[in-house]
Structure 1
Amino acid sequence: MTVPSDQDRSEEAGLPAPPADGPGLFGDAPQPSVAPATPYRVLARKYRPTTFDDLIGQETTVRILRNAFALGRVAHAFMLTGVRGVGKTTTARIIARALNCTGPDGKGGPTADPCGVCPNCVAILADRHPDVLEMDAASRTGVDDVREIIEATRFRPMQGRMKVFIIDEVHMLSRNAFNALLKTLEEPPAQVTFIFATTELRKVPVTVLSRCQTFALRRVPQVMLAAHFDRIAQAEHVRFAPDALSLIARAADGSVRDGLSLLDQAIAQGTLDGEGGTDAAPIGMDLVADMLGLADRGLVFDLLDAVLEGRPDRALDITTDVYERGGDLGVLLGDMLELVHTVSRIKAIPALRDNPELPEAERQRGAALAERVPVPVLGRTWQMLLKGLAEVEQAPDRRQAAEMILIRLCYVADLPPPGDLVRRVMGQDAAATPLPVSTPAPNGSSGVQGNGALAPAMSSGGGDGERSIRMVANGGMRVADVPRPAPQTAPQVAPEPQPVAPPRTWREAVAYVSGRDAMLHGHLRHATHVVTFAPPLIEIRVERNSLPGLARRLESLLREGTGDPAWQVRLSDAQGEPTLAEQGAEIIQLHRAAAAAHPLVQAVMEVFPTARLGEVTDHALDDYGLPPEEMAGGALAPDLEFAPLDADLVDEDDLDTDDFA
């Protein structure tokens, strides 16, 4: 049945036909449908890499994957790790396309260069391929979700060659979910590939990592990011100043996606302000800095100059200007902290002055600062800024806290270093002449005394032997004429352990126990009083609540170690000598008294009345805090020897105290 048109009905009724493009008899003609506007795609999605060649900054990973496809050695499970926005999920999708690509003719196999036109490539690019399944482990963390994946692995692919399961943020899976996945992950079906992505590799169980090939995607360097953003800006017909792109690349912190989001925002802001067009001025650094909430880099340099010169008025003028423009002074302090680090690196590595990764302003002004500011001042500024940032976060008013930190920095700028302060106290105006920390002695031992001054080594000997007077509490004993080992030209069979020389003093006996029975050694040192030491007979008094069977354990160790069964350890009720720990504490008190009476210390105390004397350390003492037993006949608290005022400080951990006493 045919429905008559308006023109046919008009002719039958003798009426003129309506115009073809006019309204009909039964209403207005339907308007032609207008295609909806294509929604805008952000740059991070629009310029997402589709091939391995498009990935930037991941040359090592791309080379390994290309070789794996060329050799046919593609793993069944991958673990992609790295910071956010470096391309983990993108790499996973490229691997999925490479596994399922069939080529333009439909006959191709797995390849590292997917064609992009076959049905599988097109479907994966459109996120609608039935055999490439993506799961967000942040929202699906349970065992049931993993069981769905395990059940899906039992069926063959519906369209492609391989079933690919991409699990993002895999570290969010629960422990039971990981355990449920282990067996399938170790022996998956031939047509299944797992690709995991995570930003927290340490949270992934080792049992899962051992079943995957792990690829660590690196942060993209700033120079490479800036060049990449420049190419995208040109494709979008927008112009940027090089410094503006460098600022965006630095704010991206190695993340391509974060940088593209900032670039998208800068394009929107710059083009509305009349910049960035083909015929207009390029988008500059000032606009990008305002968008990011950062202070001008030159302004940060000016602020650091004012702080280091001790000019609080200039520093507060700069902070007022930044605050009135809407800047965050906490962020400004963070920029100063980063700038101090940059200047310190330039000072430590002069080659950075010609490094193209640094902006021109930082290379020039940073090098100038590195020339005139010493390392101790930079280190002090870093520490104060680091602690100041925590104060800003806790303070009720961020501006007040930031300005107080800058004022403190300005008034600390003219504070002399500790070495200069000591010289002023002693009335010496000469500049310090640093001394070497250690000077090798002729016999190869260190020539540094415990107080940092240079002195002859306290070990004697010549020829093939060396006599040491150092008492070691970790099981070693004083041994005379230790022969120096000759160079070995062939492997030697280790000799059987020989009995050690019997201890000659109670302290040597306790030191012998140290490396063999730690608990017994502690009780001998802190709770045992020697009454009589007449080898092979030892009489001791043991304090209450001490180690049960202490005498018997000590006797057994001495008999086994020396090979002499005549050793006897008896308990006594006599008072005996103080314990080794008590003797060491007495030595420490005597040293503190001697140090407090020294003229230099008293002069410092007069200048700083609230100062207190810290721990006094004498490296000439042994591990029990006692002088060597050869020196025990002398005074327990000899006069302290102080290093020259211009000597460098020596850390206790840097001293090799086994070579001298």
Structure 2
Amino acid sequence: MENFIVSARKYRPATFETVVGQHHITGTLKNAIKNNQLAQAFLFCGPRGVGKTTCARILAKTINCTNPTAEMEACGTCDNCLSFQNGHSFNVHELDAASNNSVDDIRSLIEQVRIPPQAGRYKIYIIDEVHMLSQSAFNAFLKTLEEPPSYAIFILATTEKHKILPTILSRCQIFDFNRIQVEDISNHLATIAQRENIAFESDGLHIIAQKADGGLRDALSMFDQIASYANKNITYKAVIDNLNILDYDYFFKLTSHLTAAEVSQTLLLFDEILNNGFDGNNFINGLATHFRNLLVGKDAATIKLLEVSENIKQKYLDQCRQTELSFLLTALNLANNCDLNYKNSKNQRLQVELALIKMCHIRSVVQLAQQPLSPSNTATDQDQDKKKTNVVAEQAESPKQKAESDQAAQTPESLSVPKAPASIPLENKLKEVPKTNPVSSANSISINIPKKNVGTLIPSLNDLERLANGEEESGPKKATGEAREPFTYDQLLEIWNKYIQILKSTDKINLFTILNNFAPKLISPVLIEISVESKTQEQFVVQESVELMNYLRNQLNNFAVDITFKLVERKIENRLYGNREKYDYLVNKNPKLDDLRKRFNLDINP
């Protein structure tokens, strides 16, 4: 029986011309040989299986060839070429640094470098996986690499350039090998299949090329495997069955269910995929890739980014015409979020199903966002209509901001509350609204907030929904951002005491204690000074200042009110001697201390 040779070895390139997908490197090397400008050391780096060691061997053979062609290729017939091809060349030495990485191995190599070549012009040393050399081996190699004999050339190859010392990198010409394009791998596999009399489908070869992820050696290994599995008939179905790849048809069918809002059919198809042995994380990643391909198929300029066969490309182009851009962007975002949360989820299947259900409702949400809502309560009284119009006008966006918000609503990232209706005429009121910088987001509703009043004019979603339905405000009326009503210190003190009592009743004891230590001071008609005992207390009050400012401005009906801080030292006039006095003092600062004593049934020693 004839010994079988794997395709990766049998069809290993022997000339620069037969190297696949690295024309920028092979062209540079041929010009260097032609112009006699060979460097003393080369570093070939890049992913696995892209031709680094192959190019190193071709370069070693070519520079010692005694009869090169006009294109600077080795002739393959001279003594040097024949000895190299038979593995008997004394001028080419290969060293695997993964297993020969010690200082002694490098010293032995340096001793060999001193001996000039017996035949040929150069002695070439190919060191594969050079990043595996030890630190001391690298250091021992430095001097020889920098100043080698004129006949010595070093070719280093590695998949991890970042692990090599900068002093080594600076002594080499660096060539970065690219991942091989899917089309190049597919065409190369088709050529080999024809030579081996193997029947094939181009779709199947494209799947192998995509699965190889830019590595030709991996693609050739899968090619041999599937050729044996399918008895020399490489079909699309044989490839996806053998490599455990989700069929394109699953994603095309699933997208049709999603755009038609067929939740039950979507979940049943996902269940079928799981029953076929596919992982939920691989499925959601494949679905995201499918949406990405549909997205790039929308524009004629980006169709070239579809790295699929012509048959599959036509299917993508047909489906992308039937799918809205807003759906693709939102679905792609949902798939990405599902992928990020998948590993941390305790119920991973539910995580994917929830994302699919959201995708089914994307169209309805987009349509709801595009259609203005009609007011639920139509007022018959003219005065009431005018009052509601004024309320809505105070919260209305500027025309420019409204346009940007409408545009953001075309591609919602998730299910969100629709914006307030624009059906109420506001021409006169909108002219009075101050211009502010618009803030737009696909997830939220844009609100214009003056810098002075940040934290005081932020309505809740319930407020927006109430205004959208034309309902009146409930509860006490809040002051508007235009209010500037003067107030006295007594009024400030009364409202201040009410606020700290609210803090006490809501168990915000820390803030209550800080604000209760010193009375506020009114140092200008609108500037309130708060005394604190440390920077820590000041930072704590600043963190909680939004509610405080909201309360003061609304109760005083003056939105020019602001606060400042003063660092003071607390003085205790009476010295505390007895335990009871000390306890009473501590309880006054923190009332919860008395509750703690009662809970544990503790007594106070006299």
TM-score range (shorter-chain normalised) is 0.5 to 0.7
Question: What is the aligned-residue identity percentage?
Answer: 29
Letter in 2 for 1:77: A
Q: Distance in 1 between matches of 2:319 and 2:46?
A: 36
1:178-205 deviation per Cα after TM superposition (whole angstroms, max 9, x unaligned): 1111110000111111101111111111
Q: Distance in 2 between matches of 1:38 and 1:139?
A: 32
Q: Distance in 1 between matches of 2:63 and 2:560?
A: 83
1:346-375 deviation per Cα after TM superposition (whole angstroms, max 9, x unaligned): 45x552336674334345436634742525
Q: Residue 250 of structure 2: which of 283, 299, 305 is its match? A: 299
In the alignment, what sits opposite 1:97?
61
Greater helix fraction, Structure 1 or Structure 2: 2
In the alignment, what sits opposite 1:434?
404
In the alignment, what sits opposite 1:635?
561
Q: Distance in 2 between matches of 1:335 and 1:262?
A: 20
In the alignment, what sits opposite 1:372?
324
In the alignment, what sits opposite 2:353?
406
Q: Distance in 1 between matches of 2:176 and 2:109?
A: 25
Q: Residue 248 of structure 1: which of 197, 204, 208 is its match? A: 208
Write out aligned runs for 1:639-654 (5 A).
Answer: none
Write out aligned runs for 1:235-314 (5 A).
Answer: 235-271=195-231, 276=233, 283-307=234-258, 311-314=262-265
8 Å Cα contact 2:297/2:316 also seen in 1 = no
Q: Distance in 2 between matches of 1:352 and 1:154?
A: 56
Q: Residue 203 of structure 1: which of 159, 163, 166 is its match? A: 163
Q: Distance in 2 between matches of 1:45 and 1:63?
A: 23
Q: Distance in 2 between matches of 1:353 and 1:412?
A: 24
Letter in 1 for 2:64: N
Q: Residue 341 of structure 1: which of 266, 284, 292 is its match? A: 292
Q: Distance in 2 between matches of 1:110 and 1:155?
A: 31
Aligned-pair distance for 1:253? Answer: 1.2
Letter in 2 for 1:433: A
Aligned-pair distance for 1:251? Answer: 1.0
Q: Distance in 2 between matches of 1:148 and 1:354?
A: 52
Q: Distance in 1 between matches of 2:550 and 2:359?
A: 29
Aligned-pair distance for 1:636? Answer: 1.9
Q: Distance in 2 between matches of 1:321 and 1:435?
A: 40
Q: Residue 449 of structure 1: which of 433, 437, 445 is its match? A: 437
In the alignment, what sits opposite 2:546?
591
In the alignment, what sits opposite 1:22?
none
8 Å Cα contact 1:334/1:389 also seen in 2 = no
1:76-133 deviation per Cα after TM superposition (whole angstroms, max 9, x unaligned): 1000011111100000000100121123xxxx79983111122221222233322211
Q: Distance in 2 between matches of 1:143 and 1:288?
A: 47
Q: Distance in 2 between matches of 1:384 and 1:366?
A: 26
Change (3 A) 1:351 1:598: farther
8 Å Cα contact 2:436/2:448 also seen in 1 = yes
Q: Distance in 1 between matches of 2:280 and 2:532?
A: 65
Change (3 A) 1:111 1:195: farther
Change (3 A) 1:594 1:328: same
Task: Name the SS for the 1:112 alignment partner.
Answer: coil
In the alignment, what sits opposite 2:43?
79
Q: Distance in 1 between matches of 2:318 and 2:551?
A: 45
Aligned-pair distance for 1:298? Answer: 1.1
Change (3 A) 1:451 1:266: closer
Letter in 1 for 2:562: L
In the alignment, what sits opposite 1:31?
none
Aligned-pair distance for 1:383? Answer: 2.2
Change (3 A) 1:596 1:457: closer
8 Å Cα contact 1:97/1:121 also seen in 2 = yes
8 Å Cα contact 2:44/2:177 also seen in 1 = yes
Q: Residue 20 of structure 2: which of 38, 44, 56 is its match? A: 56
Gaps of 5+ in 2: 377-391, 408-434, 441-445, 452-529, 564-606
Q: Distance in 2 between matches of 1:245 and 1:389?
A: 31
1:550-576 deviation per Cα after TM superposition (whole angstroms, max 9, x unaligned): xxxxxxxxxxxxxxxxxxxxxxxxx99
Out of 208-217 and 116-125, give the one that drifted further.
116-125
Aligned-pair distance for 1:595? Answer: 6.8
In the alignment, what sits opposite 1:382?
335
Task: Name the SS for the 1:133 alignment partner.
Answer: strand
8 Å Cα contact 1:310/1:411 also seen in 2 = no
In the alignment, what sits opposite 1:490?
none
Q: Residue 33 of structure 2: which of 32, 48, 69 is its match? A: 69
Q: Residue 225 of structure 1: which of 185, 209, 219 is its match? A: 185
Task: Name the SS for the 1:93 alignment partner.
Answer: helix
Q: Distance in 1 between matches of 2:29 and 2:228?
A: 37
Letter in 1 for 2:30: R
Change (3 A) 1:635 1:171: same
Q: Distance in 2 between matches of 1:123 and 1:406?
A: 63
Write out aligned runs for 1:501-650 (5 A).
Answer: 589-592=544-547, 634-636=560-562
Change (3 A) 1:204 1:321: same
The reply on whether 1:88 has 2:38 as its aligned counterpart is no
Q: Distance in 1 between matches of 2:242 and 2:553?
A: 61
8 Å Cα contact 2:128/2:157 also seen in 1 = yes
Q: Distance in 2 between matches of 1:382 and 1:110?
A: 54
8 Å Cα contact 2:52/2:157 also seen in 1 = yes
Gaps of 5+ in 1: 1-36, 277-282, 438-446, 459-574, 600-632, 638-661
* TM-score computed with the length of structure 2 as normaliser: 0.61
8 Å Cα contact 1:100/1:110 also seen in 2 = no
Change (3 A) 1:144 1:307: farther
1:11-69 deviation per Cα after TM superposition (whole angstroms, max 9, x unaligned): xxxxxxxxxxxxxxxxxxxxxxxxxx441111111111011101121111111111111
Change (3 A) 1:260 1:425: farther
Task: Name the SS for the 1:286 alignment partner.
Answer: helix
Q: Distance in 2 between matches of 1:266 and 1:318?
A: 27
8 Å Cα contact 2:91/2:123 also seen in 1 = yes
Change (3 A) 1:52 1:596: farther
Q: Distance in 2 between matches of 1:584 and 1:366?
A: 58
Q: Distance in 2 between matches of 1:118 and 1:166?
A: 22
Task: Name the SS for the 2:204 alignment partner.
Answer: helix
1:308-333 deviation per Cα after TM superposition (whole angstroms, max 9, x unaligned): 65544323433443444444444333
